[in-house]
Amino acid sequence: MRVLSGIQPTGRFHWGNYFGAIRQYIDLQGQREDAFYFIANLHALTTVRDPSQLRQSTLDAALDLLALGLDPEKATLFVQSDVPEVSELCWLLMTGTGMGLLERCVSYKDKIARGLSAGVGLFAYPVLQAADILAYDSDVVPVGEDQVQHIEVTRDLAASFNHQFGETFVLPKAQVLDSSARVPGTDGDKMSKSYDNTLAVFEEPKPLRKQIMRIQTDSRPMEDPKDPDTDHLFQLYSLFAGDPQREAMAAVYRAGGFGYGSVKKELAGLAEEFFAAARERRRALEADPDQVEQILADGAARARKKAADVLLRAQVACGVKA
């Protein structure tokens, strides 16, 4: 049973990335027989056009994932572009992909609606994503609810190829990530780089504390009781607090007579403590770049071996190779 997922290196990981996905990826590496995780730098090219930025962001993503607990003894970590077989497989899939299927993809339509240019890379994104998944005979793909359609597209493309050329690809299943840990940004909206409302996982404690103290809150008088269930500051606090702390803070909210500043200070302390060990691991990894490069090289070698087998299977099936 193989689980596979990729994450784009489009900037430093924030709390939303960690609690929404990365933490669950790390948990899965011990629950599955095999886990493949890749840094999707080819996908990032649809938005990142600065070469030095892309290289640095790719390295930062590797450092962050390893520091946060991805274990190269339990999971295969690699960079997407280090497995060229995937790009070749992408072309085999594209030759049988209908335009209408891609035009219906929600992520494409949403980006166009937001005014982003309609480049071919953005349009064909789901086909490369399908190649990413199918190249490793992936059984399970953990995704957010907004990405389930892309797994359905992958299944459609694989089933169509299998129907045309014989059984070639494993049909993967989506595993929807737990979305119960809602991660609001500093403005109360969903935490997202595009909204400029993020709190970085590996921000140094002093600047992070300043950012937390600037989190937007309402202007109700201190003495008024407040509903913790509808307060985004409490939701952020709940990400780090244990059950007793969370229940105690909820009681404070309902009783009133407190200032949001005190909650922000407690949140800053909890967040600093929560990521302290990961921060130390990251510093150690940063000081040993050869180790990180070796981990990525070993991961790419394992990934290429599997992808080459699948690519050859597809090439023979469709007649590109005998």
Q: And the tokens for 315?
A: 């090439």
Angle between helices 106-113 and 125-134 (to 10 degrees): 150
Q: Spell out the SS3 assignment of 184-252.
A: ECCCCCECCHHHCCCCECCCCHHHHHHHHHCCCCCCCCCCCCCCHHHCHHHHHHHHHCCHHHHHHHHHH
C-beta separation of 158 from 130 below 8 A: yes
CB 193 within 8 A of CB 11: yes
Residues assigned a catalytic role: 111, 190, 193
Separation of alpha carbons 117 and 271, rounded Å: 38
Cα separation of 34 and 303, whole Å? 12
Neighbours of 36 (CB within 10 A): 26
Amino acid, res. 234: F
Q: Name 249's Cβ contacts closer than 8 Å, sequence gap at least 6.
A: 228, 234, 237, 241, 263, 266
Give the C-alpha separation, 198 to 13, whole Å: 9
